[in-house]
């Protein structure tokens, strides 16, 4: 740790540098493969999603953008842009990353951009180009692609042909990007495909981004890895090669569980943030921090605020690592001292520093408590809950 005055100055700079995008789908009723547990406060319209996002930003001060899903939020495509601009103005939150949907339509049963049918591949590519047009109209920088394509059984698909089809589609997508826009390519080792997934790891995503063009980068979802995988090493490699574009943050127990960030392994997020901050705060603006979570049991707005405040705490903990001293200890192979210095920053209670930062910004000291005191969740629960159909109970 540093002297107190240095810590305070560093903390304020670190917190000023941190912003994180929240997802529209995190406020809506979503479910598992087995069903949904409906919440009366869940948002069912884009206006309600913007309203909820505005509340989170009002209370935390660090969530100025809302990620949008094309089919769920923008079914009319570019024609929805005027309504989005009105919602931005009304709720103080801007449209963020644009997320194509290549997993919902029945035609995508055997893949979208990698489908053996040239007609279906063409439809999927047209959807990608429509997504870019929406992003251009709304002034969104990032188009975030998660591709569910893959196969369930050996011998049923040509892995090599699918690589070629995907490369071709991403090159054509990249050619349509406006200046300053980016294509972020996500990866996932399995689900919904269980034999092979077409973009299964960061190496495949890096190759595809490089093949697509200079405005393509890799998107890391912290839930999209095998158990015990060293995600911060992946992050370090992507930073080293200039291929890190952004994150979808959540937490997991086994796989893509979409648990609130830091609820299972906060030390992992701390380690990831440490690797990012080694690049310097000036480079951080090129890395998109986004949340990708949906909750069936926790209140949706409460879970979002909990995630955002946890992310702030872990970001600040990482900023307090004395990196000059850590480098010296690493070079001398002082293993215990280096690890204790590193862990000491993680165990440091940064909540007083964050409360001080919030006070300087005119924000509530405790966003969760302020949300409860505001009555917002109670009000929208009454208003929106009236729309819910009665749910039958077991006899």
pLDDT level of residue 392 (50, 70, 90 thresholds): very low
Q: How many domains does the chain have?
A: 1
Calpha distance 359→15 (Å, rounded):
13
Q: What is the pLDDT of residues 81-124, one digit of tens each?
A: 999 999 999 999 999 999 999 998 999 999 999 999 999 999 99
> How much is the pLDDT for 30?
83
Rounded mean pLDDT, 335-357: 97
Asked if residue 289 is part of any domain, the answer here is: yes
> How much is the pLDDT for 378?
97
Q: CB–CB of 300/308 below 8 Å?
A: no
pLDDT level of residue 2 (50, 70, 90 thresholds): low
Q: What is the pLDDT of residues 17-49, one digit of tens each?
A: 999 999 999 999 987 777 788 999 999 999 999
pLDDT level of residue 391 (50, 70, 90 thresholds): very low
Bridge-based pairing of strands 244-249 and 288-291 is parallel
Q: Is the pLDDT of residue 299 over 50?
A: yes
Q: What is the pLDDT of residues 315-343, one digit of tens each?
A: 999 999 999 999 999 999 999 999 999 99
Q: What is the pLDDT of residues 267-277, one digit of tens each?
A: 999 999 999 99
Strand (E) or helix (H) holding 142 = strand 142-145
Asked if residue 86 is part of any domain, the answer here is: yes
Q: Mean pLDDT in the chain?
A: 94
Asked if residue 3 is part of any domain, the answer here is: no
Calpha distance 314→66 (Å, rounded):
22
Kindly list the distances between the CA atom of residue 176 and the CA atoms of 6, 87, 204, 276, in Å, as whole numbers in the listed order.
46, 27, 22, 29
> How much is the pLDDT for 5?
62
Name residue, tokens 């590193």: 342
Q: Is the pLDDT of residue 254 over 90?
A: no
Kindly list the distances between the CA atom of residue 54 and the CA atoms of 27, 299, 355, in Å, as whole numbers in the listed order.
12, 16, 20
pLDDT level of residue 279 (50, 70, 90 thresholds): confident
Could you tell me where the beta strands, DSSP code E, fall in 304-372? none
DSSP label of 37? -
Q: Is the pLDDT of residue 394 over 50?
A: no
DSSP label of 249? E
> How much is the pLDDT for 4?
63
Q: What is the pLDDT of residues 133-162, one digit of tens each?
A: 999 999 999 999 999 999 999 999 999 999
Torsion of CA 170, 177, 187, 42, to 10 degrees: -130
Q: What is the pLDDT of residues 50-75, one digit of tens each?
A: 999 999 999 999 999 999 999 999 99
Rounded mean pLDDT, 381-394: 70
Q: What is the pLDDT of residues 221-251, one digit of tens each?
A: 999 999 889 999 999 999 999 999 999 999 9
Calpha distance 112→70 (Å, rounded):
16
pTM for this structure? Answer: 0.95
User: Which range marks the domain in which residue 353 is found?
Assistant: 11-385
Asked if residue 6 is part of any domain, the answer here is: no
DSSP label of 259? B
Bridge-based pairing of strands 142-145 and 182-186 is parallel
Asked if residue 393 is part of any domain, the answer here is: no
Listing DSSP states for 270-302 in one string gives HHHHHHHHTT-GGGGGGSEEEE----SSS-HHH
CATH of the domain at 102: 3.20.20.150
N-terminal to C-terminal alpha carbon distance within the chain: 60
CA of residue 384 relative to chain centroid, distance: 26
Listing DSSP states for 117-135 in one string gives -HHHHHHHHHHHHHHHHHH
């Amino acid at each position: 740790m540093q002297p107190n005055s240095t810590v305070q100055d560093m903390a304020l700079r670190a917190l000023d540098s941190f912003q994180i995008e929240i997802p529209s789908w995190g406020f809506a009723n979503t479910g598992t493969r087995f069903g949904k547990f409906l919440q009366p406060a869940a948002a069912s319209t884009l206006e309600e999603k913007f309203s909820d996002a505005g509340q989170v930003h009002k209370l935390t001060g660090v969530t100025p953008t809302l990620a949008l899903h094309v089919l769920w939020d923008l079914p009319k495509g570019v024609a929805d842009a005027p309504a989005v601009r009105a919602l931005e103005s009304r709720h103080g939150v801007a449209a963020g990353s644009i997320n194509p949907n290549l997993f919902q339509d029945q035609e995508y049963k055997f893949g979208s951009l990698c489908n053996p049918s040239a007609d279906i591949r063409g439809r999927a590519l047209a959807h990608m180009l429509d997504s870019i047009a929406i992003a251009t109209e709304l002034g969104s920088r990032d188009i975030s692609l998660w591709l569910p394509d893959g196969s369930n059984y050996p011998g049923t698909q040509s892995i090599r042909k699918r690589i070629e089809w995907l490369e071709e589609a991403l090159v054509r997508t990249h050619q349509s990007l406006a200046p300053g826009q980016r294509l972020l390519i996500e990866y996932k080792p399995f689900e919904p495909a269980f034999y092979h997934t077409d973009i299964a790891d960061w190496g495949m995503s890096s190759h595809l981004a490089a093949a697509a063009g200079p405005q393509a980068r890799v998107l890391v979802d912290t839930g999209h890895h095998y158990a015990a995988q060293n995600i911060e090493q992946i992050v370090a490699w992507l930073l080293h090669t200039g291929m890190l574009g952004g994150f979808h943050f959540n937490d997991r127990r086994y796989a893509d569980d979409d648990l609130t960030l830091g609820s299972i392994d906060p030390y992992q997020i701390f380690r990831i943030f440490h690797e990012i901050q080694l690049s310097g705060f000036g480079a951080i603006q090129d890395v998109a921090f986004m949340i990708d979570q949906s909750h069936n049991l926790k209140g949706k707005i409460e879970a979002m605020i909990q995630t955002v405040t946890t992310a702030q705490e872990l970001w600040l903990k990482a900023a307090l690592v004395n990196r000059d001293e850590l480098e010296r200890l690493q070079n001398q192979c002082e293993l215990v001292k280096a690890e204790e210095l590193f862990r000491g920053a993680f165990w440091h209670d940064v909540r007083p520093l964050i409360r001080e930062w919030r006070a300087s910004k005119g924000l509530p000291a405790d966003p969760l408590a302020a949300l409860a005191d505001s009555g917002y969740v109670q009000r929208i629960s009454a208003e929106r809950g009236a729309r819910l159909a009665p749910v039958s109970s077991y006899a």
